[in-house]
Amino acid sequence: MTTYDFIVRNWPELMSLAWQHTVFVSIALAIAIATGVPLGVYLTFNRRLADTVLYLAGIMMTVPSVALFGLMIPVLSVFGHGIGTVPAVIALVLYSQLPILRSTYAAIRSVDPAIIEAGLGIGMTRAQVLFKVQIPMSLGVIFSGVRVAVVMSIGIGAIAAYIGAGGLGQYIFNGITQTYDAMINAGAVAVSAMAILADFMFGRLERTLVSKGLRRD
């Protein structure tokens, strides 16, 4: 059976796995963005902490994903969530932190000091400069970090099937154990397609959210 046939015959199942995949990746990204962006902004006010945090986030990226998922099991077993969606989400949040943190930190820091001075000089409070000037100016770069995190999370999310979180990784792992090529391919193609689609959507979102004044053309 070809990959195409497999996909056609197992369409409903594929869709439900894709949905599972989407759910835990989305939850993880929502948490990662909700924590990573504010933390990245905060770090620009605390340079010493910034170095440490970015270093730790960098180390986190070097831990092989299978190992990270495995490490979650004993830790989270204590709370009764050793396997399934919870450890998968936590691992993805940790992975997504670095690109989001680093891009946010770098973007906010790269705002021309003259512009910040102009903002303060005409009577903006520090918070107004941050929210009305620095963050809107940084959105483009922050978005690029988020898009990296999105694509990466969808890919790494496939490994979450290994600890029982389901998702499209299930086809890949099952396919490997059954030496069923069409199944492996179907899972892989679906993961790629999802990543491309998500990246495209975030690209569109970026275009609407980031000011036209910052576009280079």
Partner 1 sequence: MIELNHVTKTYPGASQPAVDSVSLTIPEGEICVFIGPSGCGKTTLMRLTNRLIPITSGSISVDGKDIMGLDPIELRRHIGYAIQQVGLFPHMTVRDNIATVPKLLGWARTKIDARVDELLTLVNLEPGTFRDRYPRQLSGGQAQRVGVARAMAADPPIMLMDEPFGAIDPINREVLQDEFLRIQDKLKKTIIFVTHDINEAIKMGQRIALLKEGRLIQTGLPDELLNRPADEFVKSFVGADRVLKRLNLLKVRDAMMTNPVHCRSEDSSEKVLEQMVKNDLAFLIVTDRDQRLLGYVNQYDLRGHKGHAGDVARKLTLTVSPERNLKEALSQMLSYDLGILVVVGEDGRIQGVLNSTTLCSLVGSTYDEHGGHWGRITAAGRIL
Binding site for partner 1 (CB under 8 A): 112, 114-115, 117-125, 128, 133, 136-137, 210-214
> What is residue 216's three-state secondary structure?
coil
The separation between the first and the last C-alpha atoms of the chain, rounded to the nearest angstrom, is 48
Q: Calculate the dihedral angle through the C-alpha atoms of 39, 198, 82, 172, rounding to the nearest 10 degrees.
A: -150
Task: For partner 1, give the closer residue by CB, 16 or 211.
Answer: 211
Task: For partner 1, give the closer residue by CB, 126 or 204.
Answer: 126
Minimum Å gap between C-beta 126 and partner 1 is 10
Minimum Å gap between C-beta 61 and partner 1 is 31
The rounded distance, in Å, linking the Cα atoms of 83 and 74 is 9
Minimum Å gap between C-beta 48 and partner 1 is 18
Task: For partner 1, give the closer residue by CB, 46 or 125.
Answer: 125
Minimum Å gap between C-beta 108 and partner 1 is 13
* Cβ atoms 172, 163 nearer than 8 A: no
Task: For partner 1, give the closer residue by CB, 48 or 212.
Answer: 212
Task: For partner 1, give the closer residue by CB, 118 or 176.
Answer: 118
Minimum Å gap between C-beta 214 and partner 1 is 5
Q: Count other Cβ atoms within 10 Å, centred on residue 96.
A: 29
The rounded distance, in Å, linking the Cα atoms of 61 and 49 is 19
H-helix or E-strand spanning residue 79 = none
Written as six digits, the tokens of 88 are 């998968």
Written as six digits, the tokens of 62 are 């070097």
